[in-house]
Amino acid sequence: MATMGSYCKAYPVGRLREFGGWSEKTQNLRAPGDADGGRGDASQPLGADDHLYVHENFTVTDGIFLDENIIFDEVSPDWVRFCKDVLQFEPPPAEP
């Protein structure tokens, strides 16, 4: 069963590609006809205006679930800094 994280935010792929260490695991794109609105043709490359989701653990997915359709998971201090400084991504603090 898919895991829903506590926070994610959608960004255009073009913004994510600004990161020097960016790479895409396009084999993990949602398949056509997925219940959550699959891309239509997963064999097509991601366009700059397509959106992906950055999660509270700084992984990037093609959908709102934390552990499905993972497109980028090479989380490093540089990636976290890019997310915070360039994308202005700030997950809310975890609840106690």
Per-residue model confidence (pLDDT) at position 60: 98
Beta bridge partners of 54: 9, 60
Residue 7: helix, strand or coil by DSSP? Answer: coil
Those residues with Cβ within 8 angstroms of residue 76's Cβ, 6 or more apart along the chain or in another chain: 21
Domain boundaries, the chain: 8-85
Single-letter amino acid code for the residue at 70: I
Distance, in Å, from the CA atom of 85 to the CA atom of 1, rounded to the nearest integer, reads 33
Q: Which residues of the chain have a pLDDT value below 50?
A: 40
pLDDT value at residue 33: 57
pTM of this prediction?
A: 0.86
Residue 3: predicted pLDDT: 86
Neighbours of 53 (CB within 10 A): 20
> What does the pLDDT read at residue 11?
98
